[in-house]
Chain A
Amino acid sequence: MLSFVPAIAAVLQHAPEHAEDESPFEVLFSHVVPQHSTEVFGLVWWNIQWFQLAAVGLIFLFFLPVRNAIREGSGGRMLRVLAGWVAWIRDEMVYANMGEKDGRRFAPYFLSIFFFIAFMNLFGLVPKGATATASVYVTAALAILTFLIMVVGGMVVQGPGKFWVSLVPSGVPGWLLPLIFVLEVAGLLIKPFALTIRLMANMVGGHLVLLSFMGLMFYFGAENGAAVGWAVAPLTTGMSVFIMIIEGFVALLQAYIFTLLSIVFVGQCLHPDH
């Protein structure tokens, strides 16, 4: 079974160039890693960037009509579902964790980031799709946005100096202050880092589980003859479909968790006392 791992390593190291002599396993795995798509003005354009653009396009396509539907209370069934979803995120996630005053300012940003991540995650489940959030660069950029809002927002609301002072909770004895301050600053940096790793690893992990189940039939086919591979195929396909359904749930759950944790972290930085 360990013969999987060198295949993954080989594909990771020089994935896109050798398109001709690929095994089915490598074809499947090429779905997981980003690839060069084309060049625009001398810059390499990766295939996941098309899906990022498509996610932005889908947000405009779906949610521009929703604005009118919410304002006028009109619209079809689809619009009402989307409007209810937006209102749920605003009320249950943003307002519930930040309060209505701050929430009103930040709700557009968190709504955009939720649906951006959700659409990027779901694009990984359609045929020929690629998951932009399975790239650590994409999730790191999103987490850096959260980090900037935490620090800059905290410094704007509380004042530049008082933000760093209020990192340390009140009531700490004097000799502990330097240690607690270092710990709190480290915590400030670890939070966006954990956001990055969590989203990226969830997306890559789901694809790898799917890949392992699909790769099982090629493994059995190559080791024990094609007949065994065909015999195993229905079982592994069924398991893959099952994992795929779970992936659809995880795609939405991870968008929810990324957004919710961002809301909680930003809320803590704006008003440290609660």
Chain B
Amino acid sequence: MLNLLIQEGGSMAMAAVGAGLAVIGAGIGIGKIGGDANSAIARQPEASGDIRGSSLIFAALIEGATFFAIVVGLLFALK
């Protein structure tokens, strides 16, 4: 299938595949953060403000690395 992609779209298709792979990792990470934050809030509703703040920070850190991967993919697609 990868051969087919390379024949059809060249490096652009591979860049799209790379961006998709990066998003899979970010989805797992941010999903885990969200799920754990929700269960933590359910256990301790009075700490919901702190938990929400720190989970936003961690989600943003993951997002930064993911966007770096996507931007690299975009740069290759536009070459």
- A residues lining the B interface (CB < 8 Å): 2, 5, 8-9, 12, 194-195, 197-198, 200-202, 205, 253, 256-257, 260-261, 264
Contacts and interface: CB of A to CB of B under 8 A. Distances in A.
Interface in B40-79: 53, 56-57, 60-61, 63-65, 67-68, 70-71, 77-78
A5, A202, A205, A253 — most chain B CB neighbours (10 Å)? A5
B13 interface: yes
B60 A5 contact: no
Contact of A261 (B57, B68, B78): B57
Contacts of A205: 67, 70
B56 A197 contact: no
A257 to B, nearest CB: 4
A2 B7 CA distance: 13
B64 A194 contact: yes
Contacts of B13: 2
A198 B61 CA distance: 9
B12 interface: yes
Q: Please report whether the interface of chain A is mostly helix, strand, loop or mixed according to DSSP.
A: helix
Given A8-B78, A205-B70, A194 B65 contact: yes
A253 B55 CA distance: 13
Nearest to B71: A201
Contacts of A8: 78
28 contacts: A2-B9, A2-B12, A2-B13, A5-B9, A5-B12, A5-B77, A5-B78, A9-B78, A12-B78, A194-B61, A194-B64, A194-B65, A194-B68, A197-B64, A197-B68, A198-B64, A200-B71, A201-B68, A202-B63, A202-B67, A205-B67, A205-B70, A257-B57, A260-B53, A260-B57, A261-B57, A261-B60, A264-B57
Q: Please report whether the interface of chain B is mostly helix, strand, loop or mixed according to DSSP.
A: helix
Interface of B: 8-9, 12-13, 53, 56-57, 60-61, 63-65, 67-68, 70-71, 77-78
Contacts of A256: 56
B9 A257 contact: no
Contacts of B77: 5, 9
Contacts of B12: 2, 5
Given A9-B78, A198-B64, A201-B70, 10 more contacts: A8-B78, A194-B61, A197-B67, A201-B68, A205-B70, A253-B56, A260-B53, A260-B56, A260-B57, A264-B57
B67 A257 contact: no
Nearest to A2: B9
A175 B63 CA distance: 34
Contacts of B64: 194-195, 197-198
A140 to B, nearest CB: 13
A256 B56 CA distance: 10
B66 to A, nearest CB: 9
B79 to A, nearest CB: 8
B19 to A, nearest CB: 10
Which 8 A/B pairs are nearest by Cβ-Cβ distance?
A: A201-B67, A194-B64, A198-B64, A257-B60, A9-B78, A2-B9, A5-B12, A197-B68
